[in-house]
Structure 1
Amino acid sequence: MKLLKLIFTVCCYILIVNCTPKKQQSLTVLQFNIWQEGTVIKDGYNAIINEIIHSNADLIALSEVRNYNNTNLNERLIASLKEKGYTFYSEKSEDSGILSKYPIIDQTQIFPLKNDHGSITKAIINVNGTEIAFYSGHLDYLNCALYLPRGYHGSTWKKLDAPITNLVEIEKINLQSQRDDAIKSFIEDAKNEINNGRIVIYGGDNNEPSHLDWTEATKNLYDHNGVVMPWNISLDLEKNGFIDAYRNIFPNPVTHPGFTYPANNTAINIEKLAWSPDADDRDRIDFIYYYPDSRIKLNTSKVFGPKGDISKNKRVLENTHDVFLEPLNIWPTDHKAVISEFTLNIK
């Protein structure tokens, strides 16, 4: 009889636990290259503030944090948003930065900036009792090998005698950057955070495309010149279990290329936007990645920015099925951002 009562009690407990509804909330993540803190575009800083509000993002990964004129960008952003009635948290950083609607428990640079070769910043953020390890990356812009098949040098952006399409040569030059070193640091650190029971999300301007975009289906598009490239960063992330949010929602790079650079910013002359003026260098180099976890579910992912690009020194509109969140008025940057919305199961 005692055994039957024990079994009955255990069964009731399991039933109650499984039937108790989980608390859920939306969590919107924004990856946002702010182009030298908005200083390149007239009224660019105010545009950054307005677009942050427009995005309704909870966690924001910033690229090109400069702290110009001995100011702290984090303090300026917090104050400007507070003036408009929004509370955010941020701590001082360099090159890559983090802005959050939720308190930051701790922040560190896991790949510190050195000689302008990129950086990754991490913050542990408390989202209503659930801890998230949120990473912001702005990776090395030199030896930018995506330009080689398009006939341009990846550090000087001078036109080459001919496009470089040999995969071994492209990878050799690509690995001369410090992008792979930064991502290795991220993966190693993220594994520790996963083992510690934290959710892991990364947002970054990686300055490198994805192998999911340079495929057989796209080898004759966008001046890939027949190249099917196993880009190092995206492969390393995929091999270690991280999921590319935009490609998870839109797996077809032909119908949904998701270009983030170079964006058609009509507020500035095209010469400031075209680094390889004779080429079509449209590409997706801004990303949100996350590690699968039962507590989060990806719902949507969008390109955030103008519906236009620069190709062969012209302003063009994509003929694609990409999903956009279009800006309010002034767009402050030469990149498009990426915005992904998750459902988060909280305690």
Structure 2
Amino acid sequence: MFHIFNLIKLIIVLTLVFIGKLSFSQQKNQLKVLQINIWQEGTMVPNGFKAIADEIIDKKADVVLFSEVRNYNKTDFVQRILQELKSTNAVYDGISSEPSLDVAFISKFPIKDQQALYGDTSKMGGVLKSKIQVNGRNITFYAVHLDYTNYACYLPRGYDGVTWKKLDQPIVGVDAILEANRKGRREEDIKDIIQDANKENKDETIIIAGDFNEPSHLDWTSATKNLFDHRGTVVPWDCSVLLQASGFVDSFREKYPNPVKYPGFTYPSFNKDVGMEKLAWAPLADDRDRIDYVYYRTNIPFHVSEVNIVGPSETVKYGKKQNPDSQDKFLLPVDVWPTDHKALLVTFKF
């Protein structure tokens, strides 16, 4: 009887160990990537900084790529957010980036290497390259925040993309729109990222994520030319065209290929704690666009399992709060939403 009892105990223990190992193995075979523009480190929203940490914890992100890091008053945003997360027993690794860079990266996995990567720009924004290893796989990340000036998608909506002022009439010529867009120098940064990524080992998985301040050619199509104040235009926006030609996949559009049913707007986002005057830059237009992305490229088994828009379900349209009017699905904020953008949470499995 004693031996049978011990045998049962042993079986139970081994079963629990096996289940624990299985759970840990499953966790290591997926990666949750959170991309978020934090709107001046959350300072534009009451309690915004704490809300950034709350969202990271609630969404169980494995890695986070930030845009609009400012390191205000000689503070170190990376170390501050690491401490805030640690206070709730959420342990992440992060390397402080140079003060002139306004992007950052943290990870539950040790960061093996990190370096700033600038293109031929005046450092409006930035690109940060970080490397981690997950379950023996090497993954390289580029945290991106591209130049916000010459925001050419405003032109067909009747607004200037530099001064943000109302135009006498909309500009709908595609050549004119692209010419204005290229003054923003976003495509130079993307070309530099692609060139750098092409130097990596062919078995390296590459993820590029951030606020591009530019729409996608997968969104401004013939199907949407008469929607969202596109005013009949079909625009091959440079950054998305360049990335697609280089083998990078837009994770959101891979999961939701229909831009009419699933526009995936990330900007502007409604925010209940912020006045509309700070959210609506083109108050007489429907200027909603998808300008935040998670792209990936890989030669080894690695696929998108799930893509979620994170943030309030409401947007801003014609200078007013717009309730949900698409089939997009949202992971709602815990409480305070720290930014005027939506975020993206992409789950990869391998």
CA deviations 1:262-288 (Å, max 9, x no partner) are 000010100000001100001100000
Structure 2: distance between partners of 1:47 and 1:22: 29
More displaced 10-residue stretch of structure 1: 294-303 or 199-208: 294-303
Matching residue's letter, 1:252: N
Residues 113 and 119 in structure 1, CA contact (< 8 A), matched pair in contact too: no
- Match of 1:281, SS? coil
Matching residue's letter, 2:229: D
Matching residue's letter, 2:190: I
1:87 is matched with 91
Structure 2: distance between partners of 1:22 and 1:191: 30
Where does 1:263-278 land on structure 2 (aligned, <5 Å)? 263-278=269-284
Matching residue's letter, 1:41: V
Residues 120 and 189 in structure 2, CA contact (< 8 A), matched pair in contact too: no
Where does 1:20-59 land on structure 2 (aligned, <5 Å)? 25-59=29-63
**Structure 1: stretches of 5+ with no match in the other structure:** 1-20
CA deviations 1:287-308 (Å, max 9, x no partner) are 0000033231111111111001
1:331 correspondence with 2:337: yes
Residues 28 and 135 in structure 2, CA contact (< 8 A), matched pair in contact too: no
Structure 1: distance between partners of 2:332 and 2:28: 27
CA deviations 1:120-152 (Å, max 9, x no partner) are 101011223321101100000000101011000
1:202 correspondence with 2:208: yes
Where does 1:269-288 land on structure 2 (aligned, <5 Å)? 269-288=275-294
1:311 equivalent among 294, 301, 317:
317
1:127 is matched with 134
1:164 equivalent among 159, 166, 171:
171
CA RMSD of aligned residues (A): 1.6
Matching residue's letter, 2:115: T
Change (3 A) 1:141 1:192: same
Residues 243 and 292 in structure 1, CA contact (< 8 A), matched pair in contact too: no
Residues 137 and 204 in structure 1, CA contact (< 8 A), matched pair in contact too: yes
Residues 118 and 178 in structure 1, CA contact (< 8 A), matched pair in contact too: no
1:222 correspondence with 2:231: no
- Match of 1:142, SS? coil
Structure 2: distance between partners of 1:117 and 1:332: 22
Shift of 1:318: 2.5
Residues 24 and 343 in structure 1, CA contact (< 8 A), matched pair in contact too: no
Q: Percent identity?
A: 46
1:72 is matched with 76
More displaced 10-residue stretch of structure 1: 104-113 or 183-192: 104-113
1:245 correspondence with 2:251: yes
Residues 194 and 200 in structure 1, CA contact (< 8 A), matched pair in contact too: no
Residues 121 and 185 in structure 2, CA contact (< 8 A), matched pair in contact too: no
Change (3 A) 1:157 1:23: closer
Change (3 A) 1:229 1:194: farther
- Match of 1:57, SS? coil
**Structure 2: stretches of 5+ with no match in the other structure:** 1-24
Matching residue's letter, 1:285: I
Shift of 1:153: 0.6
Structure 1: distance between partners of 2:81 and 2:183: 35
- TM-score normalised over the length of structure 1: 0.90
Q: Give the total of aligned pairs.
A: 323
Where does 1:108-119 land on structure 2 (aligned, <5 Å)? 108-111=115-118, 115-119=122-126
Matching residue's letter, 1:236: L
Structure 1: distance between partners of 2:324 and 2:193: 33
- Match of 1:148, SS? helix
CA deviations 1:305-336 (Å, max 9, x no partner) are 10011111100012211121111110000000
Change (3 A) 1:113 1:266: farther
Matching residue's letter, 2:41: E
Q: Which runs of 4+ in 1 moved over 3 A?
A: 21-24, 112-116
